[in-house]
Amino acid sequence: MVSVRCRNLVAALLLGLVPVLAQATVKQSSSGLCHPPHSPWYERTTTFTAHDSLDACLAADGRLPDGVSIASADPADEGYRRSAFGHGWDDEDGDCQDSRAEALIATSTTNVRFDDADRCRVVTGRWISPFTGEVIQNAGDIDIDHVVPLVWAWEHGASEWPRERREAFANDPLNLWPVEASLNRSKGGRGPDEWMPPSGECQYVSRFVRILIKYDLKPPESEARAFNRLLDTCRADS
């Protein structure tokens, strides 16, 4: 349980932040296709799950329809493209289980069950959300969160990386967490100085910083100080 002191510090860090800009809705059809506003099927897709970015739709096991390219995931982030980190989840070993499926398999506390018609797609298991501590058993309720969001990484140095390093980052198991879809979409592209989960704050910040160190990402001094204050508070409370 996180102390009152830690929660007060988090609240203080959140004061005065600029509101997140509204983003165009991406429609994920019942067949799993992600339709951004420029998709020719966008208006015709009337039954869908709404996402605020292509990144979020792809994280929810979505895929692009034929002939549709990945546009900017956030109009406020000029230059960033999800495609710079690869087109969705990678299947590097060619076993038909992409990095989303492998993250679900690796983190489930029981054996997962695959779709009867698609042996590559995980449908059930038992996951404990690092953002709430709640148990999730339906894979369809899970988004695979990038602990360090791709757009955040892009803004903090990943724009200078070679494509292969960005694709490795987007599919690195260390950077992939199964969480509630609603919380992943609430988090968006923000770091710990702008967004914190309902619980597990210390675990989240510690993992975020581990990934920064692994990939030599350099946050500005103000953000680095905020992360260090959070970690110091977590150490004091442990």
Which of residues 24 and 65 earns the better pLDDT score?
A: 65
Q: Looking at residue 60, what is its pLDDT?
A: 85
pLDDT tens, residue by residue, 60-114? 888 887 766 554 344 444 578 888 898 889 988 888 999 999 999 999 999 999 9
Tell me the whole-structure pTM to 2 decimals: 0.69
Q: Please give the C-alpha separations between residue 221 and each of 136, 143, 149, 172, 227, in angstroms, as whole numbers.
A: 37, 31, 19, 26, 10
60 neighbors 53 (Cβ within 8 angstroms):
no
Cα dihedral: 172, 175, 179, 183 (round 10): -130
Kind and range of the H or E run holding 137: strand 135-138
Compute the radius of gyration of the chain from its Cα atoms.
18
> What is the phi/psi pair of residue 173, to 5°?
-55, -30
Sign (positive/negative) of CA torsion 159, 161, 162, 165? negative
